[in-house]
């Protein structure tokens, strides 16, 4: 019995060992595909279009879940047709135009190995003269590319104006107008109440319509710029879908459009509640919900602008910029409603007009104080993160535009201070007193107040025009000089510095300097790898191996094909050791 059991045990053991050997052999046969080379080669400079992009693998890949895309510097696909796999399944290719214009292009690919593993990566190449995207420095040649065209500038200006008006309408209605008009102690006639309602809702409606139209045009202008085509050429599903699905601007535009539509529905519901006194609380709730939606809308605007490119404390930068926009909309947008309201009341009786404005002016002054304080604090923080020095205010177009905005904001603040410190107390004093003379004094003060509000609104319009150019210029902090940025990461036993030259869209030289605690360069690393990822786009990383240079650094070249945020993961492998350390750098490419 023991002998039979022993024989069965040995047979089971031999079977198990044989199975394991077979399994290991099978796994060895089911290899992990490796990319051998590409046509054109990674980081190559070509005189003309390659006509086709090819990826050659060491073994056959699966016929499913693979593909190659060729993107221009704006992240839009420019390849022709679908990817093709050769008969031996070792070459994956896609065609490109024979008349491909000069510029920088990025190839992103994915494939499935025979063992089921997904692999992928990206690399870049240039055609013709290398594209340059230098910072906007005063006196530089070729810097006009950052100036928006006339059509784009006008549309952006109208878009910002409409946004200020629409967002400001929710705030003005909730905080100022509705509580005053629905106040029974004022005893407003139906004629006055109806006129106020008509002016407010009509202006509110038109601001939403203009906001919707200019938002759609914004997408078309952006798509035309990204696809290097006309507005008519960009108005097709393939281009628009690529912009919305593949770019940071497009994704934020999509979220913003949803918020604009929801806010519009909310507004039309609110219109139905105005005439019903018993629904005034419901209307107030709808307006405050509109303010909340407006805050999210401002976040989408910030997340597609300069704040989204901040390296450190990005959430703080986005929140600060969103709050800055929201406070500006509350104040500047409210100024327009205030001026229109005063214009609509000119035909009303002097007593009604004085008492109504006597309630509205103090409420608006309190809101304006809060908004100005918020604008100053958030504006100071934004200036601090985007302006590297005082000289940048005159050395860069971004600095000049920002300085212009600040200089225009000062008289706007001065007019607001006059309203707060002079007009408001005088109006209160005249309304407290009785008699015809006091009423005439109050009306005179309101006439002066209307002129000041008109001047404030006009300044706000001009400031928004400056903002159009401000958002189009690269921030001064990212307008790096020819040497590019130098990023440093300190560790307990060594320091790693990353330098990118010239830190522009196109071919870049990347240097990694590793130093010990005494500041001596460590030059005996076994391997130094860089995984480079464009974080604003959904694409796999490219891997480069850096080699030792004569200055003690480790160098490699990489084509960085698009402006935006790039992540550099530096993996260091010490000599005679299997251990590795990874240091991560985030860098904005202007």
Query: 248-292 pLDDT, tens per residue?
Result: 788 899 999 999 999 999 988 888 776 555 556 777 888 899 999
Is the sign of the CA dihedral 446, 447, 448, 454 positive or negative? Answer: positive
Tens digits of per-residue pLDDT, 321-340? 899 999 999 988 988 898 88
Put the strands of the sheet holding 44-46 in their side by side order.
44-46, 118-127, 103-112, 67-71
Residues 207/158, Cβ–Cβ less than 8 Å: no
Q: What is the pLDDT, as a whole number, of residue 535? A: 78
3 state DSSP class of 304: coil
Range of weakest confidence among 41-55, 88-102, 377-391: 377-391
Residue 58: both structure tokens together:
């060491």
pLDDT of 102-140, one tens digit each?
Answer: 888 999 888 887 766 778 888 889 898 654 433 333 333
Q: What is the mean pLDDT of the chain?
A: 79
**Residue 149: DSSP 8-state:** P
The answer on pLDDT for 351 being more than 90 is no
Q: Above pLDDT 90, what percent of the chain?
A: 15
Q: Which of 127, 125, 107 is CA-nearest to residue 35?
A: 107
Q: What is the CA radius of gyration of the chain?
A: 32
479/134 Cα distance (integer angstroms): 7
Which CA distances in Å does 32 have to 119, 248, 373? 9, 33, 60
pLDDT at 368 over 80: yes
pLDDT of residue 52: 92
Enter the tokens of residue 300.
Answer: 């989408």
| Separation between Cα atoms, residue 575 and residue 582, nearest integer Å | 15
pLDDT of residue 524: 85
Residue 87 vs residues 64, 92, 95, 522: alpha-carbon distances, Å = 14, 10, 17, 48
Distance CA 456, CA 415 (A): 7
Q: Which stretch of DSSP H or E encloses residue 542?
A: strand 542-548
The token pair that represents 24 in the structure block:
């290991």
Evaluate if residue 160 carries a pLDDT over 60. yes
What is the Cα 420 distance to its own chain's centre?
36
pLDDT tens for each residue of 433-483: 555 565 666 667 777 777 888 888 888 888 888 888 877 776 655 544 444
DSSP character at residue 575: T
Measure CA 543 to chain center: 27
Mention every residue, 6+ apart, whose C-beta is less than 8 A from residue 211: 159, 162, 163, 165, 166, 260
Q: Which CATH superfamily is domain 486-589 in?
A: Periplasmic metal-binding protein Tp34-type (2.60.40.2480)
Between 537 and 94, residue with greater pLDDT:
94
CA dihedral 23, 28, 29, 35 (to 10 degrees): 150
In the prediction, which pLDDT does 519 show?
Answer: 81
> Most confidently modeled of 76-85, 227-236, 276-285, 446-455?
76-85
What are the C-alpha distances in Å from 369 to residues 286, 360, 421, 448, 458? 24, 14, 11, 20, 19
Would you give the end-to-end CA distance of the chain in angstroms?
82
Has residue 14 got a pLDDT over 60? Answer: no
Q: Would the pLDDT of 361 be above 90?
A: no
CATH of domain 35-127: 2.60.40.1220
Strands 494-501 and 35-39 come out as unpaired
- Can you give the three-state secondary structure of 190-206, one letter per residue? HHHHHHHHHHHHHHHHH
Tell which residue, 389, 56, 382, 349, has the closest CA to residue 189.
349
Nearest 5 degrees, angle CA 12-CA 14-CA 17?
110
For residues 512 and 510, give the distance between their C-alpha atoms in angstroms, rounded to a whole number.
7
Q: What is the mean pLDDT of residues 163-173?
A: 91
575-583 own/partner pairs: CB under 8 Å, 24+ apart: 575/524, 575/525, 575/526, 576/526, 577/526, 581/491, 583/489, 583/491, 583/496
Average pLDDT for residues 152-158, to the nearest whole number? 87
Bridge partner list, 548: 554
- Determine the pLDDT at residue 240: 85
Highest mean pLDDT (candidates 196-205, 345-354, 386-395) = 196-205
For residues 241, 245, 246, 248, the Cα torsion angle rounded to the nearest 10 degrees is: 120
Name the residue among 169, 260, 250 with its Cα closest to residue 213: 260
Q: What are the phi and psi torsion angles at 7 (to 5°)?
A: -65, -45
Cα(136)–Cα(150) distance, integer angstroms? 19
Query: The tokens 């189009």 sit on which residue?
Result: 472
Tell me the mean pLDDT in the region 572-579. 74
Provide the pLDDT confidence category of residue 185 given band limits of 50, 70 and 90.
Answer: low
- Tokens encoding 182: 């629905």
CA distance 584 to 538: 18
Residue 2: pLDDT band by 50, 70, 90 thresholds?
A: very low
pLDDT of residue 522 exceeding 60, the answer is yes
User: Where do the H-state alpha helices sit in 330-435?
Assistant: 334-344, 350-386, 392-395, 397-418, 424-432
Comparing 402 with 32, the larger pLDDT belongs to: 402
Over residues 301-305, mean pLDDT: 83
| Crossing angle (nearest 10°) for helices 350-386 and 314-328 | 160
């Amino acid at each position: 019995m023991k002998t039979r059991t022993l024989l069965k045990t040995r047979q089971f053991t031999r079977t198990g060992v044989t199975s394991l050997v077979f399994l290991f052999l099978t796994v060895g046969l089911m290899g992990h595909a490796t990319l051998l080379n590409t046509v054109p080669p990674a980081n190559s400079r070509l005189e003309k279009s390659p006509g086709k992009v090819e990826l050659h693998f060491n073994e056959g890949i699966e016929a499913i879940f693979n593909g190659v895309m060729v993107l221009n510097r704006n992240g839009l696909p420019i390849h022709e047709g679908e990817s093709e796999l050769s008969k031996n399944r070792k070459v994956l290719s896609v065609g490109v135009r024979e008349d491909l214009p000069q510029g920088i292009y990025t190839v992103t690919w994915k494939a499935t190995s025979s063992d089921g593993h997904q692999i992928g990566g990206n690399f870049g190449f240039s055609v013709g003269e290398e594209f340059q995207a230098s910072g906007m420095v005063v006196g530089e040649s070729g810097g006009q590319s950052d100036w928006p065209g006339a059509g784009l500038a006008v549309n952006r200006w109208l878009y910002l104006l409409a946004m200020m008006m629409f967002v400001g309408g929710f705030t003005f209605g909730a905080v100022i107008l509705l509580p005053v008009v629905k106040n029974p102690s004022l005893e407003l006639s139906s004629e006055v109440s109806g006129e106020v309602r008509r002016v407010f809702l009509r202006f509110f409606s038109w601001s939403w319509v203009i906001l919707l139209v200019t938002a759609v045009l914004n997408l078309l202008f952006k798509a035309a710029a990204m696809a290097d085509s006309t507005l008519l050429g960009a108005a097709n599903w393939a281009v628009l879908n690529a912009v919305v699905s593949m770019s940071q601007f497009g994704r934020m535009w999509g979220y913003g459009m949803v918020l604009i539509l929801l806010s519009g529905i909310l507004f039309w519901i609110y219109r139905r509640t105005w005439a019903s006194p018993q629904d005034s609380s419901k209307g107030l709730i709808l307006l405050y919900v509109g303010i909340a939606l407006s805050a999210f809308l401002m976040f989408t605007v910030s997340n597609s602008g300069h704040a989204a490119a901040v390296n450190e404390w990005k959430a703080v930068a986005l929140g600060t910029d969103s709050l800055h926009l929201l406070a500006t909309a509350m104040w500047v947008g409210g100024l327009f409603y205030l001026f229109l309201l005063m214009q609509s009341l000119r035909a009303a009786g002097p007593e009604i007009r004085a008492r109504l404005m006597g309630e509205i002016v103090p409420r608006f002054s309190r809101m304006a104080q809060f908004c100005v304080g918020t604008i100053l604090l958030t504006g100071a923080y934004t200036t601090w993160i985007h302006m590297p020095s005082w000289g940048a205010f005159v050395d860069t177009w971004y600095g000049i535009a920002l300085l212009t905005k600040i200089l225009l904001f000062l008289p706007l603040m001065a007019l607001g201070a006059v309203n707060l410190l002079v007009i408001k107390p005088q109006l209160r004093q005249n309304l407290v007193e009785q008699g015809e003379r006091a009423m005439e004094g109050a009306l005179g003060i309101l006439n002066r107040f209307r002129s000041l509000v008109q001047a404030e609104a006009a300044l706000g319009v001009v400031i928004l025009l400056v903002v159009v150019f401000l958002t189009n210029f690269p921030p001064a902090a990212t307008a790096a000089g020819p040497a590019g940025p130098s990023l440093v990461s300190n560790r307990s036993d060594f320091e790693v510095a990353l330098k990118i030259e010239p830190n522009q869209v196109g071919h870049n030289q990347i240097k990694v300097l590793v130093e010990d605690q005494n500041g001596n360069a460590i030059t005996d690393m076994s391997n130094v790898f860089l995984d480079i990822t464009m974080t604003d786009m959904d694409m796999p990383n490219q891997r480069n191996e850096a080699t030792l240079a004569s200055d003690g650094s480790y160098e490699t070249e990489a084509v960085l094909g698009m402006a935006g945020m790039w992540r550099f993961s530096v993996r260091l492998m010490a000599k005679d050791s299997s251990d590795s350390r990874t240091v991560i750098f985030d860098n904005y490419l202007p």
